[in-house]
Amino acid sequence: MTATKDPPQGAHAPDLEVRHRHISIDGVRIFYREAGPADAPVVLLPHGYPSSSFQFRNFMPALADRWRLLAPDYPGFGYSDTPAGFAYNFDGYADLLDRFAKALGIERYALYLHDYGSQIGLRLAIKAPERVAALIIQNGDIYEDELGPKYGTLKAYWANPTPEAREKLYEAVSEEGFRDEFVGEIDERLVERVPPDLWKLSWPLVTEERREIMVGLMEGLKENLGWFPRYQAYLREHHPPALIVWGPQDGFMPEGAARAYLRDLPDAELHLLDGGHWALETNLAEIVALARDFLGRVYA
């Protein structure tokens, strides 16, 4: 029988548990995950397509001893409401993220920018640059000349938006389409690290209304290209401390899309990982170690 010792009097183990909560913002019920002390520096985690705050489920407790991490589900995704009349576009989601932070009393934060979350987070940063302490950038594209080959289907639709071309976008919003997003491009040896829960659990939450919202966001990416110069100008003007962690096995955002950030953030740290778009699934330990070091210096 092994004896155990009680912790020293007054000592407390850090609370690393993730809380699963809801908040009402202008009558819209928003689900979010939270971890870490209420008075700790904040890391705000806007999610990407086709996931939800679920994508940060492992990252959050790994940093919860020193930081407060907040990850909401957007309206129309995950466990949040899908209200009629909401602006289901990048402006609407950026505004929602802003109101979410204000509702929780968050005045300053680091932003984790990934996939659609990079478009939403950077619009928030442009709106309130004084609130941004730092950026962690992980497979979030803002350089049109470095878009990968998987943009081909979208570009074809933008050039000729026929009903037949739109049907291809619609077909991609499916369980098989979700699976391809998560494991369709990475090396076979990495596939077993990616849990099927990512598509098996998220697909049943996709109603016909939500499916149309997702297709609409794909259509909206064309207009979003016009924001790329604005994102770049924000980086040049404000020089936020930045950590770039990137999985180059990514048909939408290959290695060049990561290196392009150095044009506007020449002092940023760039780390190329042995992974793809969903590197938090395949390279979690590496990203956690890099983020802990980086945030520790930002919030020193």
Predicted confidence (pLDDT) per residue in 11-53, tens digit = 567 789 999 999 999 999 999 999 999 999 999 999 999 999 9
Segment 111-129 mean pLDDT? 98
Whether residue 126 is predicted with pLDDT greater than 70 in this model: the reply is yes
Per-residue pLDDT band at 4 (split at 50, 70, 90): very low
DSSP assigned state of 249: B
Residues 288, 197 contacting (CB under 8 angstroms): no
CA separation for the pair 118, 230 (Å, rounded): 13
Q: Give residue-wise pLDDT tens across range 260-285.
A: 999 999 999 999 999 999 999 999 99
User: Residue 158 is which amino acid?
Assistant: W
pLDDT value, residue 45: 98
Fold of 19-298: Rossmann fold (3.40.50)
- List the one residue out of 154, 216, 199, 196 whose CA is nearest residue 52: 199
Q: Given this model, what pLDDT does residue 166 score? A: 95
Residues linked to residue 150 through DSSP beta bridges, in sequence order? none
Chain centre to alpha carbon of residue 293: 20
- Please answer whether residues 246 and 271 qualify as being in contact, where contact means their C-beta atoms are separated by less than 8 angstroms: yes
Mean per-residue pLDDT of the chain: 95
- pLDDT of residue 8 exceeding 60, the answer is no
- Backbone CA torsion sign across 106, 109, 113, 118: positive
| Residues 81-106, mean pLDDT to the nearest whole number | 97
Q: Are the C-beta atoms of 94 and 117 separated by less than 8 Å?
A: no
Helix, strand, coil percentages (3-state) for the chain, rounded to 5, are: 45, 15, 40
Q: Which secondary structure element, helix H or strand E, spans residue 37, and what is its range? A: none
